[in-house]
Amino acid sequence: MIARELIPGVSAVGAIDWDRRYFDELVPLPHGTTYNSYLVRGSEKTALIDTMYPARTAEYIANLKRLNIPHIDYIIANHGEQDHSGSIPAVLKLYPNARVVTNKFCRKLITDAIDVAADRFLIITDGDTISLGDRTLRFLITPWVHWPDTMLTHLVEDNILFTCDLFGAHNATTDLYATDEGRTLDTARRYYAEIMMPFRSHITKYLPMVEKIAPRMIAASHGPVYNRPALILDAYRQWIADVPLREVVIPHVSMYNNTSNMVLYLVDRLVERGLKVTPFNVVDGDLGELASALVTASTLVVAASTVLGGPHPTCVGALNLANILKPKVKFMATIGSFGWGSDIARKIQALMPNLEAKILAPVLVKGRAIEEDLKALDRLANEIYECNEQMTAHSAVV
Ligand code: FEO
């Protein structure tokens, strides 16, 4: 992508990856992604904030060459993952006097993965600054937004915060700024779900710090720049809040429609009670959508056919992902149909040790659901409703 100026002397010089469909071979990217890199020119020194995914190095270096930058003095590495650090060797080759500025942990991760000599680094600690002449970069060590090495860089005089993965979005767009707020929030929420949700407690510590800085722009290294930071800060406040919303997510798999008919019945009963419900077919659904739905959900109902006594294998992978993402669900239940015996409630619970949820009584049905089974689903809907009412009432008191 051609370089584009945010303000005089500060430009976005990264790349758009329209075609990438998986990140880490795990996270689906239906909207592609961007790898943002930012050039900051001071009166004396020039800095490059984050670099590039290795596969896009040639395009990135060509962009830098086109800009005719006489010198790059500092390469700021906010994070060692290679989508941001992978082009450091190529930039160092082009600018042999540049130093890589980062924290000790990040240096280790970079030198473990990439061929960069340890003496090319300038190691900083929390609160350190470097001067570019009329501009100052200040570093904020913020581990675990995504890896333990992560940090933020604050361009002090212009009050722009460069956050790397934090507040990012896998969103390939030519929009420099987050002007399409609906799409931005959809993609940022999905990104939060897949990348940041396991680190919610860390983000809870960092958000007040960002709010105190009150940046005029938040420039992450994936997705468009937030020139109205309240858009993403308000969203993160809701996503990291301890109390979820009155939302039920139902991942489901059904072999002969008996389980799916139970799901349809339960969805109606929950909607009648004023709850938002997101059913998710694990057989052909996009797991990113399941993760995204779990961001604010209070309740998880797993609906699965029984196969050889356990949950249908297709739902096991989805539940494993949901477990490692550590959503803040408060209530969990299992429903499903079986032929002659089932142990799925216990086995599904065992698949999800990271969830700190109250376990509600399962509704397991032999064959098709008959009247007494539907009454059991009514009772489950009532219990889910009551639990959500109490959760809401308790949070209002607190
Ligand atoms: Fe965008 Fe953790 O890398």
| pLDDT over threshold 90, residue 1 | no
Distance of CA 123 to the CA centre of its chain: 28
Residues 6+ apart with CB under 8 A from 130: 45, 47, 74, 101, 122, 124, 136, 137
Q: What is the mean pLDDT of the chain?
A: 97
Distance 350 CA to ligand 1 centre (A): 30
pTM: predicted TM-score of the whole model, two decimal places: 0.96
- Supply the pLDDT for residue 130: 98
Q: Which atom of ligand 1 is nearest to the CA of 164?
A: 1
Q: How far is CA 178 from CA 4, 39, 222, in A?
A: 14, 19, 12
| pLDDT over threshold 70, residue 107 | yes
Pocket of ligand 1 from Cβ distances under 6 Å: 79, 81, 83-84, 146-147, 165, 221-222
% of the chain at pLDDT higher than 70: 100
| pLDDT over threshold 80, residue 178 | yes
Which tens digit of pLDDT belongs to each residue from 109-164? Answer: 999 999 999 999 999 999 999 999 999 999 999 999 999 999 999 999 999 999 99
Q: Which atom of ligand 1 is nearest to the CA of 222?
A: 1
Which tens digit of pLDDT belongs to each residue from 64-73? Answer: 999 999 999 9
| pLDDT over threshold 90, residue 396 | no
Q: Which atom of ligand 1 is nearest to the CA of 150?
A: 2
d(CA 254, CA 136): 58
Helix/strand/coil (H/E/C) assignment for every residue in 169-226: CCCCCCCCECCCHHHHHHHHHHHHHHHHHHHHHHHHHHHHHHHHHCCCEEEECCCCEE
Average pLDDT of 303-310?
A: 96
Residues 6+ apart with CB under 8 A from 154: 137, 138, 139, 140, 160, 161, 162, 213, 215
- Supply the pLDDT for residue 397: 75
